[in-house]
Structure 1
Amino acid sequence: MLKSAEIWALGAMSGTSLDGVDAAMIRTDGVTIAAFGDSDYLPRSPADRATVARALGQWPDGPDVAAAAEVVETEHTRLLGRFSGAEVIGFHGQTLAHDPRGRGTHQAGDGQLLAELLGVPVVWDFRSADVQLGGQGAPLAPFYHHACARHIGARRPLAFLNLGGVGNLTWVDPTVERPEDARALLAFDTGPANAPLDDLMQQRLGQDCDRGGALAAAGAPDADVLERFLGSSYFLKIPPKSLDRNDFAQLSRDVDALSDADAAATLSHAIALSVLAGFDHFDRLPQQVLVTGGGRHNPLIMDLLADHLSCPVLPVEDVGLDGDMLEAQAFAFLAVRVMRGLPTSCPKTTGVGAAVGGGTISRPGGIASIVATPQPPQAPAPE
């Protein structure tokens, strides 16, 4: 295990939008952020995206998993090999299936292979320990959101909204020192985000996304589709809660008969409405909402949120953070926490019974250790 000294950590994230791999360096002790380092992005080719997409929903014994894992490992080796100076790598892998109350969670990619190829210790399989101990295994970025809130000097509660393939919200009270403390965080997946919209653009127009929300802005949302969507019991479920990429597949089927523009508008409104529904679960409204992920580039979604919330809705760049790399940075941060034996999730982020730190640490030379460290429950802070 590491001591408390700050180190340079490299994190990588391949999200549910399937567009490519982000990688970013941060200097951290796993508690605070000392500095941000280099970052880079490797877009996924159409052929590789199709290979990974075929494996979605499959578990390790699935017929398409080996090919998808090879794509993931090759991409990460290429991208992470561009960096130097990292003392540990946080490797999320590619989520193919997520069923925390059933078979568990499955991320493709072998961290031991990356450790051998890159010559650096790799922390990976972040989610399994949380699921095995009764948690949802997601979302995992909230502990990093807490560190970011304190890094920017926030003094009042705020929310981070990630609009990646799936949307998720993190409510943060930055005055609470430790993220695992009971009043520090509340986090959960809100609903589908870019994944169905990106799939629509690829399938109909051969484009990777609705750039600038231009197509959606030219269409009109279908009220009936949105009403059925919002009728899902998921939105009433008390958080923490999490989603698989395809849990709202019916939404994509429901827009099949719509024009390209109307379908894009309907999906964009669904993203915003699912986020707005999430705010019903907050006891206190945040001072501001900081938006990360590709969805922050969609003016229609951002305007819908701003029009319906009573607090500012801002891209994270407005407070000096990088909305393209926040998730990759998060797994660099979590890797250091795992190396230090610190928790990476807690009851208010994943629903796990007690704060837990989990992951596999693989070192060059074939040495691996599995970390699953439940932390003792903390007494509530005094009022």
Structure 2
Amino acid sequence: MISQRRLRVLGLMSGTSLDGVDAAVLDTDGSGIFGFGESAYRPYTRAERAVLHAALGAWPGDARAEAAAEVVELAHAELCARFRGIDLVGFHGQTLAHDPKGRGTHQAGSGEVLAKALGWPVVWDFRSADVRLGGQGAPLAPFYHHALARHVGARGPVAFLNIGGVANVTWCDPRLPQPEQACLAFDCGPGNAPMDDLMRNRFGQERDEGGALAAQGTPDTARLETFAKAEFFFRIPPKSLDRAAPVPDIAGLSDADALATLAAGVATGVMLAFDHFPEPPARLLVCGGGRHNRTLMAMIAAGVDCPVAPVESVGLDGDMLEAQAFAYLAARVAHGLPTSAPGTTGVAAPVGGGVFSQP
């Protein structure tokens, strides 16, 4: 482990949208946040995305998973080479399969390989320990959300919504100093992935930029009512999803109506999440790529009973927040602090996940 308390940590994140790798530096001791450093992004090429898509659902030992691991390790190493003066790396890897009540969880990419390539210590495999102890293994950013709420001076409960491939939410109370007692977090439904998949399959484009096409459509109310009855939404949190999240039926709908219905599905999941919060949050702060979808943001704002704004409204970087989160978690692992708790993943007791690999 590392005896030095305050660390310059490089966090790395490649999410379920499979668009690329985010990297961000955080100055932290795993408890407080002292400053935000530089950041960078490395998109996956079309060929790399094809390899990753082909490996979705694959477990260790599958040739597809091995091919994906090579793509992940190379992309991350290339991106990390842009940084200097790093004390520690937090490496999430690329989730290929997530079955916490069955086979476990699998993130492609070896932190040991990355540590040797970079010459820096790497914390990785953040989810497996949590799953082994009965947790969902996700979401893992809540403790960082709690630190951010305290960092920006929030005086009461606040909720963070991350809209990546899947949407997840954290309710946290910054008045409580320890995140183990202050957070409730869970995946709340589909995120960008179904909309991005539609754009890729029908138009060969990566996304509906700004929600422009969805804005031209009309959500199918009857299909959304059926979608909202999915068992997942009534399950008591914590709970987690992978890309197999419930999705509204869009068969036979026009492109615009299909996108509008999928966006409304994301908003529906967020609205239903509020039923599980211990008390209403003062505001909902949104990070992840979904906050750029103006149509989606308007749907969410119309459906919840508190102000909704991107995290930039409080001076944070919504594109890099998840990468920063894994920098924060890596520092916690290095200092023997828990990274998840019963209220965030359903694990039996607070646990520190992560494997520590020296170069």
Tell me whether 1:54 sits opposite 2:50 in the alignment. no
- After superposition, what is the alpha-carbon deviation per residue over 1:131-179, rounded to whole angstroms, capped at 9, x for unaligned? 0000000000000000000000111110000001100010010010010
Specify the alignment match of 1:121 in structure 2: 121
- After superposition, what is the alpha-carbon deviation per residue over 1:246-296, rounded to whole angstroms, capped at 9, x for unaligned? 233x64xx3242211111111000000111001000120000110000111
**One-letter amino acid matched to 2:196:** D
Specify the alignment match of 1:145 in structure 2: 145
* C-alpha distance in 2 between matches for 1:26 and 1:244: 27
Identity of aligned residues (%): 62
Extract structure 1 runs of 4+ deviating beyond 4 A.
none
User: What residue ranges of structure 2 are gaps of 5+ in the alignment?
Assistant: none
Tell me whether 1:135 sits opposite 2:126 in the alignment. no
Specify the alignment match of 1:361 in structure 2: 356
Aligned residues: 359
* C-alpha distance in 1 between matches for 2:131 and 2:297: 33
**One-letter amino acid matched to 1:350:** T
1:2, distance to aligned residue in structure 2 (A): 2.9
Q: Give the structure-1-normalised TM-score.
A: 0.92
- After superposition, what is the alpha-carbon deviation per residue over 1:73-132, rounded to whole angstroms, capped at 9, x for unaligned? 110010011111110000000000001000000000011000000000000000000000
Specify the alignment match of 1:225 in structure 2: 223
* C-alpha distance in 1 between matches for 2:315 and 2:258: 34
Specify the alignment match of 2:205 in structure 1: 207
- After superposition, what is the alpha-carbon deviation per residue over 1:321-371, rounded to whole angstroms, capped at 9, x for unaligned? 00000000000000010000000000000000100001111111xxxxxxx
* C-alpha distance in 1 between matches for 2:261 and 2:175: 39
**One-letter amino acid matched to 1:211:** E
Specify the alignment match of 1:271 in structure 2: 266
* Partner secondary structure for residue 343 of structure 1: coil
Tell me whether 1:24 sits opposite 2:24 in the alignment. yes
Specify the alignment match of 2:253 in structure 1: 258
Which of residues 231, 241, 244 is equivalent to 1:243? Answer: 241
1:308, distance to aligned residue in structure 2 (A): 2.1
1:225, distance to aligned residue in structure 2 (A): 2.3
- Contact 2:164–2:289 (CA<8 Å) still a contact in 1? yes
**One-letter amino acid matched to 1:269:** A
1:63, distance to aligned residue in structure 2 (A): 3.3
Specify the alignment match of 1:381 in structure 2: none
* C-alpha distance in 2 between matches for 1:255 and 1:121: 46
Where in structure 2 are the equivalents of 1:293-372 lying within 5 Å?
293-364=288-359
* C-alpha distance in 2 between matches for 1:42 and 1:71: 12
Which of residues 280, 305, 308 is equivalent to 1:285? Answer: 280
Specify the alignment match of 1:74 in structure 2: 74
- Contact 2:166–2:245 (CA<8 Å) still a contact in 1? no
Specify the alignment match of 1:190 in structure 2: 188
1:3, distance to aligned residue in structure 2 (A): 3.6
- Contact 2:5–2:335 (CA<8 Å) still a contact in 1? no
Q: CA RMSD in A?
A: 1.0
1:4, distance to aligned residue in structure 2 (A): 6.0
* C-alpha distance in 2 between matches for 1:5 and 1:59: 36
User: What residue ranges of structure 1 are gaps of 5+ in the alignment?
Assistant: 365-383
**One-letter amino acid matched to 1:118:** L
* Partner secondary structure for residue 333 of structure 2: helix
**One-letter amino acid matched to 1:360:** V
Where in structure 2 are the equivalents of 1:85-96 lying within 5 Å?
85-96=85-96
* Partner secondary structure for residue 357 of structure 1: coil
